[in-house]
Structure 1
């Protein structure tokens, strides 16, 4: 059995199990500047967390609410 047949059979089995294919595009971590962009976003997030003292309490309350359900 060739590779195309095996892949086709595998996909048919997945579909029979109620699954469907989904394509997701993600950032290319190999691109120049990716690390710098991550650092900048992390710094902005940290700044926002420091600027909103109630954010942590809100997140904790939301998580506790989820745990109850």
Structure 2
């Protein structure tokens, strides 16, 4: 008569994440944390808008825009 294997205890989320990280590291990957501006924050949005206004006033703004249009490839944006 065959016996059924004992069920192991359910693993905690912390244990599952540790196993996942081990598998990823075994594949040669490493974790990296990225911090980006929080666009939900009104102060961040206000600062971005302020900086955009300053950049638009740059004396060479039109020349920079023309250069960007000349070198960018719209096919790369998809």
TM-score (norm 1): 0.63
Instruction: Note closer, same or farther for the CA distance 1:35–1:62 as it changes in structure 2 (3 Å cut).
Output: same
Give a deviation string over 1:38-58, Cα, whole Å, max 9, x none.
Answer: 21012112223xx32321221
Alignment-derived partner of residue 33 in structure 1: 43
Matches of 1:57 and 1:39, distance apart in 2: 22
Describe the SS at the equivalent of 2:57.
helix
Alignment-derived partner of residue 63 in structure 1: 72
Matches of 2:56 and 2:20, distance apart in 1: 44
Structure 1 range deviating more: 19-28 or 37-46 = 19-28
How far is 1:2 from its partner?
Answer: 1.3
TM-score (norm 2): 0.58
Instruction: Note closer, same or farther for the CA distance 1:44–1:20 as it changes in structure 2 (3 Å cut).
Output: same
Which has the larger share of helix?
1
Segments of structure 1 that go 5 or more residues without pairing to the other structure are: none
